[in-house]
Structure 1
Amino acid sequence: MTQSKRETERKYEPPSGGVAGLPDLTGVGPVASVTAAGPEELDAVYHDTEDLRLAGSSATLRRRTGGPDAGWHLKLPLAGDTREEVWAPLSDEVPESLRELALSRTRGAELRPVVRIRSTRTVRRLRDAKGGVLAELSLDEVRADAAASGGGRAEWSELEVELAEGVHAGLLDVVEKKLRKKGIVRADSPSKLARALRETGAGAGAEPERCPEGVAGSAGAYVLAYVREQAGRLVSLDPAVRGDLPDAVHQMRVTCRRLRGCLRSYRSVLDRRVTDPLRAELRWLAAELGVARDQEVLGERIGAALAELPDELVLGPVAARLRVWEVSHGGEVRSRTREALATPRYLRLLDALDALVRRPPLRAGAAGKPARTLARAVLKEYDRLAGRMEEALAFPAGRARETGLHEARKAAKKLRYAAEVARPALGKPVARLGKRAKAVQSLLGEHQDAVVAQDALRGLAVAAHGAGESAFTWGLLHGLERAGAEARQRELTEVWRAASDPALRAPLQH
C-alpha cells in the first residue's frame, strides 16, 4: 500500500537564538494564529545506489521513524519548490512499489543505506481564521552520519517552511518576505540529504560525469541541451506512467517523438551510427506507449460523440457495448505499457540516452554556427513536409489520400520539433515557422483521429449487428466522423497556404 501527496517547501538558514529568533507571523497574509507543537525526534536512513543515482536526479528515498508519517518516503522532484512524496509502511526492506517507481533512475542497481540523519524538530503551525493549518515552520537540529564505516559526521540547524495540502504557493512568498526582514535567508543546500552527503563525505567520488567542454554557443550546444532536457523528462515521467496518472502516457510518448525527431533532424551534429540505433529504440517505446494512448483517445472521442446525440437517435444498448469495448481493450493495453517499462530493453534505452548526453558523438557540424547549421536542418524538414503534402494532395479522395495526409502529419511533427531545438538560438523566425507547422500537425491530427474512429465504429457496428442489436447509432456516428474528416481536408488548403508562405522561411535562408 502506498499513498502519494504533493509537498511544497522551502529551507532557510536558522534564526539566531533558535525558536526565540523566529518572527511572529500572526497577521501575515491569511495567517490568523500560530500554535506550537513538538518537539519530535526523527530518525531517517537514506538509501541510494553506490553512485548516488537518486541524489543525482534530485530524488530521495528514506526509511524514517518518529513523527506522524513514519514509514518509507520516496520524493520525486516536480516544478519549483514542489515534490511528489510517495509513502509506504515501515518494513525492513525497501518496498517493491517504491523500487519500481525509482527504477528509471536506479536502472535496477542495488539500493543501500548511504546516510543516517537524526533530527530534533520544533514545530510552529500557521493557522487560518477557522483554525485550519496553512503551513508548518519546523526548526530542526540535525545530526548526520555516513553509513559506510569510517564515514564522517556533520551537525547543523535549519528552518523549513512547508505548505499544507491545497494551500496556494503564494503563501510561501508572503512568509519569506517576513523572514527576510529578520535576516533569515534561503539555505544553500536544497535538502538535508544533499548537505549530509557533502559534509560527511558520503557523496565523494560519485559526482556525475560532466558534458564535454568547448561547445558553448555552438550548434552542438543547443542540440545537446535539447536532448538532455528531453531525456531527463523521459526519466521523470516514468513514475507517473507506472501510476497510471492522467496524460502521463501521452506526455512520455511525445517525449520519445521529440527525441527521435531531434536525433534525425540534426544528424550533421550527432553521428547517426550512434543515434540511429537509439532512434529505433525510441520508436519501439513510443509504439508500446501508443497502444494505450490511442485506445484512451479513441474511447473518449466516441463517448463524447455519443453523449451529444439526441436520445431518440440512440437505439439499443449502445453505451453498454461501448463500456465493454473500452474495458476489454483498456486492460490489455495498460498491461502492455507496464510490461514494456519492466523490460531490460527499456532500461538499456535510458542508459544509452545518458551515455549520449555525457559522451556525445559530435560531428564537425556540432562546432558550426547555429544560424547556419540549425537553420539548414529546419529548412530540410520543411522541404520534406512540402513534398509529403504535394504527394498527398495529388491523390483523389479516399484511402490513398488519407494515408498520404497521415505521412504529412508526421513530417509536420518533425519540422515542429526541429524548430523547437533551434528556437533558443534563432528566435522569432523559427518560432513562427514552428507555430505554423503545429497548426498543420493539429489539423491533420484531427483528420487522422476521425479516420481511425471510422474503423473502430465500423467494428462496433458489425459486433452489434452480429449480436442482434441495432447498428443504426454506430452507423450514424460513422457518418459524422466521415463528414468531419472531409471538413478537415477542406480546411487544410488555407492552413497549408499559411505554413508554406515563403516569407516564413526567408529569414532562415541567409
Structure 2
Amino acid sequence: MGIEIEDKFDVTAEYDIPDLSGLAEVVGPKSYQLVALYYDTPDLRLASRGVTLRRRRGGADPGWHLKLPKAKGVRQEITHPLTRSTKIVPAELCELVRAFTRGAELQPVAQLDTRRSVTVLFDGDARLVEIADDRVKGTVLGVEPMVVRWREVEAELLEGGKKALLAKVGKRLRKAGATPSASSSKLAKLLEPAPLPKAPTEPGTAGEIVVAYLAGQVTALLSQDPRVRRAEDDAVHQMRVAARRMRSALKAFKTVVTGTDRLQDELRWLGAVLGEARDLEVIRARYGKALDGLAPELVTGPIQTRLGADLLEREQEAYERIKDALSGERYYTLLDTLDALVSAPKLGKAAAKPAQERLSVIAAANWDRVTQAYDTAQAIGDPERRELAMHDVRKAAKRARYTAEALQPTLGKNMAKLAELAENVQEILGTHQDGVVAQETLAKEAEKARQAGEDTFTYGLLVGIERSKADRAHAEFPKVWAETVEAVNKVL
C-alpha cells in the first residue's frame, strides 16, 4: 500500500518538458510501454466515486493497482501482484471495493495504452520527484469501442522528496505551458461517468447546507470502508465518527430532513459494530501507556500479557466481526439508504428557509439541550443516579459540538467557538467516564488473574491511577461548566 502525492497536468502534443536541472540531479528520461486494463461495474460505480481498479503490464510496477479517492491532497494506492487472468479480479481487491460495487460484477470497461517517458530528480541516492510524460491511447470497451488520444504530465512526490520541491516542479511545468488537469485520473478523462445525483435544494437554504453536510459524511464513511477492511490505524474510529456525525445531524436537523428514524437506528447499529474493536483498541493503548510509565519493579505477574496480547486477540476477533458485518446485506442496504438520503431526501418546511435564519435557531436549541440535561442531572439527589445522568450531558454536548461543526462553514466563527466549548464539556466528562470504565475493566481482569493464582499488585496500582484521573476530572468539571456557560452566552 502507498500514499500518492502528485500533481497532474494537461499538455499539448508539442509540449516540451522544461529544464529541471537547477532543482536537483536529473536522471532520464527513460521510456516504458504500459498497457492497463480497467475494471468497473457496468454502470461505473467505481469511477463515479473516484475509485480506479486496473491490471497493468509494463513499467517499473506491473500488477494490480487500486486507487482510492484523493483526501487532503493524497491518494491511497493498494497493489497486488500481477495475475495471469484478465477476467478475474483478485478476491482481496474485490473485497476492498464492496462498499462501492454493492455486489455488482466487475468487468473490463476500458484499456489505456501509454508510452511513458520518466524523468527522476535525485539527491544522491534519494529519489525525490518523478515526472512522467504520458502519450495515451484510451479505448472505451463495448460493442463499439471508442478510441481517444491525449498527452499529460504527472509530477509525483517520492519517498525522499518534500512538498516544496514538488511545488517548484509544478511551477516550472506550468510556466512551460502545462495546465492543471481537470480530471482526477486517466480513466476519469476517458470515461467521464455521470455525476452522482444531487438533492433538489435551493441555493442559500437550510436544506442545501444540511444535505451538503450529510453528503460529505457519506463520502467520509465510504472512504474509510477499505481502510477498515484492512484494519488500518484509526480507520475504525474515523468511520464510526462519520456514522455518529450523520446520526447526530439527522437528529439535530429533523425539521430540515425528515423521516430518518429508521436510518438513525441503522447508523446506531453500524456504530455499535465498529465500537467493540475501537473500544478495545483504545483501552489496550491506555493500559500499555500506563504500564510503560511504571518502574519495572512495580510490574508484577503476566499483566502485560493480559492487558496487551489478550486484549489484542479480542480486538482482532472484533475486526473479523466487523468484516462480516461490512459484507452483509444489512450494511449494503444502509449504504443504499445513505445514497438516497443525499440524492432525494425528504425535506421538511424548514428546508426552504434561509440558512442563516433557520440554522442559527437549531444551533441554539442544541446547546439548550446540554443545559437542560445538566440541570436534570444536578436535581438528582442520589450520587450514583446523578453520575449516570451526567452521561446524558456528555451525549448532548457531543451533539451540540457536531451540530456547530456542521454549521461552521455557513455561520462562521461563532459556530467554531461553540463547537470548541461543547467539545471541552464532552472531553472532561469523557475523561471521568473513561476512568470509571477503566477501573471496572481492571477489576474484572484482576479477578481473572487472582483466580489463576497470579500476583495482582500492579492491577491495584493501575486502579489507583485511573481513580485519580477520574476524580480530578470530576473535581474540575464545575469550574469548566461555569466558564463554558458564560462563554456560550457571549456566542449565541
TM-score (norm: length of structure 1): 0.91
Q: Confirm or deny: 8 A CA contact 1:6 1:165 kept in the other structure.
A: no
Q: For 1:429, which of 414, 429, 433 is the aligned residue?
A: 414
Specify which of 188, 195, 199 is matched with residue 211 of structure 1. 199
- Partner in structure 2 of residue 164 of structure 1: 158
Q: Helix, strand or coil: the match of 1:361? A: coil
Per-residue CA deviations over 1:398-425 (Å, capped at 9, x if unaligned) read 5323322222111110111111122222
Quote the residue 2:42 is aligned against. Answer: 50
Q: Is residue 115 of structure 1 aligned with residue 110 of structure 2?
A: yes
Alignment partners' CA distance in 2, 1:158 and 1:315: 63
Q: CA deviation at 1:73?
A: 0.9
| Greater shift in the superposed pair: 370-379 or 360-369 | 370-379
**Partner amino acid for 2:356?**
A
CA offsets, 1:172-219, max 9 Å, x none?
210122122222222333321112114xxxx4xx44323314x21111
Choose from 6, 12, 37 the match for 1:9.
Answer: 6
Matched AA of 1:194: A
Q: Which residue number in structure 1 is paired with residue 228 of structure 2?
A: 241
The 8 Å contact of residues 433 and 505 in structure 1, kept in 2 or not, is answered as no
Instruction: Summarize deviations over 1:437-475 as a string: whole Å, max 9, x none.
Output: 000001111111101101111011111111112222212
* 1:226-249: CA deviation from partner (whole Å, max 9, x where unpaired): 101101000001111111111111
Aligned partner of 2:180 in structure 1 is 186
- Correspondence for 2:149 among 136, 152, 155: 155
Match of 2:27? 34
* RMSD, matched Cα: 1.9
Which residue of the partner structure matches residue 67 of structure 2? 75
Mapped contact 2:394–2:426 kept (Cα < 8 A): yes
Deviation larger for 309-318 or 148-157: 309-318
How do residues 196-275 of structure 1 correspond to structure 2 at under 5 angstroms?
196-198=190-192, 203=193, 206-213=194-201, 215-271=202-258, 273=259, 275=260
Seen in structure 2, the aligned counterparts of structure 1 residues 160 and 312 have a Cα distance that, compared at 3 Å, is: closer
CA distance in 1, matches of 2:429, 2:461: 23
CA distance in 2, matches of 1:382, 1:97: 45
Give 1:104 deviation, angstroms.
1.3
C-alpha displacement of 1:43: 0.9
Contact 2:421–2:488 at 8 Å: present in 1 too?
Answer: no
**Shift of residue 276, structure 1, vs aligned partner:** 0.9
Q: 1:80 Cα shift?
A: 4.7
Shift of 1:327: 3.2
| SS of residue paired to 1:22 | coil
Change (3 A) 1:434 1:131: closer
Show structure 2 runs of 5+ residues with no match.
Answer: none
Q: Where does 1:433-448 land on structure 2 (aligned, <5 Å)?
A: 433-448=418-433
Q: Report the CA distance between 1:222 and its aligned residue.
A: 1.1
Aligned to 1:148, what secondary structure does the other structure show? coil
- How many angstroms apart in 2 are the aligned matches of 1:450 and 1:103? 38
> 1:126-154, CA deviations, whole angstroms, 9 ceiling, x for partnerless residues?
222x1432222222221111110113211
Q: Quick one: structure 1 residues 117 and 441, their matched pair in 2 at CA, closer, same or farther if it must change by over 3 Å?
A: same
How do residues 318-397 of structure 1 correspond to structure 2 at under 5 angstroms? 318-395=303-380
TM-score by length of 2: 0.95
How big is each residue's C-alpha offset from its partner over 1:257-287, in whole Å with a ceiling of 9 and x where there is no partner? 100000001111011x2x1111000000001
Residue 391 to residue 111, structure 1, CA distance change in 2 (3 Å): same
1:326, 1:118 → 2: CA distance?
50
Query: Aligned letter for 2:353?
Result: G
Counterpart-to-counterpart distance in 2, 1:364 and 1:459: 52
Identity %: 43
Matched, 1:174 2:168: yes
2:270 partner amino acid: L
User: Where in structure 2 are the equivalents of 1:294-333 lying within 5 Å?
Assistant: 294-333=279-318
Contact 2:127 / 2:159 at 8 angstroms: preserved in 1? no
Cα distance, 1:507 vs structure 2: 5.6
Q: 1:251 to 1:166 in 2, by over 3 A?
A: farther
Q: Provide the rounded CA distance (Å) in 2 between the counterparts of 1:321 and 1:249.
A: 23
Q: Which runs of 5+ in 1 are unaligned?
A: none
SS of the residue corresponding to residue 59 of structure 2 reads coil
